[in-house]
Amino acid sequence: MITTLRRYTSIYGAIAAMWPKMYLAYSIWVWMQFIVQVIALVIFVAFWTAVYAEQSTIGGLNLQQTLSYIILAQIFLPAIDATSTIYYFGDLMREGRVGVELLRPVDFQAANYVGSVTRIAISLVTQMPLALVAWLLFRFQLPSDPLVWLAFLLTLLLGNAVLFCFDWILACVSFYSTETWGLSVLRFGVATFFSGSLVPLTMMPTWLRSIAAAMPFAQALYMPVSILGGITPLAAVPRIWLTQLVYLLVLGYLSRLVFRVSVRKVTVQGG
């Protein structure tokens, strides 16, 4: 048992260790992304300040609550940026490497999940300068309650696992379409809106909020950020975890089933 655990830890640890090296190789891209995010953050703050000029609350939130949420959403935006899974499937088909990856002595989906979690962790670390800018420019404050942070982290991890399984199923569509760019753009646009990264879900009409809350994008961003931003109380966290666990069980099973069926359709470029 211990030997097996050590073996898997060594294998997946080596997979995780590759991603920091890749980020270090493209440091200019990281800084360009930081500049774009700072500009976007300033625009968001100016927009919502103007929206609240004629009213004190919207959807039960005041200006300070909304700004705190929007800033947090922009900081943790990498939590929903999993289009790399779809692009990766496209690369495998284009280069004819699907069979090679499946022959490796590791679980293909588990290895990709480790890579996804590592990418998100690195991306969040690189977001620290953005959080510093938000603190300097807008006096942005983070909660000090450790229970809030614990609830946030667990919700973020569960939400990311749910979204990964959903994206895995979506990426399997590329085995049939043999096209990934349009699929990834569609996924990014839908995720940007329904995750709550632009507008807090509490401000949406009831029918639209129900649709957004039922999607995996909200589980990965809105739910954890609303906890950290004080919109969702700690008393509601167990219900959120239960919902996420149900999502994870269902999508986890479907993701493996869909992959086993769809991978048989790969016939392009020697794949």
Look up residue 6 and give its two tokens: 């050590």
**Does residue 271 fall inside a structural domain?**
no
Strand residues in the chain grouped as ranges (E): 57-58, 61-62
At 185 the pLDDT is: 82
Q: How far apart are CA 105 and CA 88, in angstroms?
A: 19
Asked if 230 and 152 touch (Cβ cutoff 8 Å), the reply is: no
| DSSP code of residue 246 | H
State whether residue 142 is helix, strand or coil. Answer: coil
pTM of the model: 0.84
**Does residue 45 fall inside a structural domain?**
yes
DSSP state letters, 156-179: HHHHHHHHHHHHHHHHHTHHHH--
| DSSP code of residue 235 | G
**Does residue 129 fall inside a structural domain?**
yes
**Does residue 241 fall inside a structural domain?**
yes
Asked if 133 and 45 touch (Cβ cutoff 8 Å), the reply is: no
At 156 the pLDDT is: 92
**Does residue 179 fall inside a structural domain?**
yes
The low-confidence residues of the chain, meaning pLDDT below 70, are 1-27, 29-30, 82-83, 266-271
Total structural domains within the chain: 1
**Does residue 270 fall inside a structural domain?**
no
**Does residue 22 fall inside a structural domain?**
yes
Q: Which helix (H) or strand (E) holds 45?
A: helix 27-51
What is the percent of the chain where pLDDT is above 70?
Answer: 86
Q: How far apart are CA 25 and CA 54, in angstroms?
A: 48
At 271 the pLDDT is: 41
**Does residue 20 fall inside a structural domain?**
yes
Expressed as residue numbers, the domain containing 8 is: 2-265
Q: Which residues, other chains included, contact 85 with Cβ-Cβ below 8 Å and sequence gap of 6+?
A: 112, 116, 164, 167, 168, 170, 171
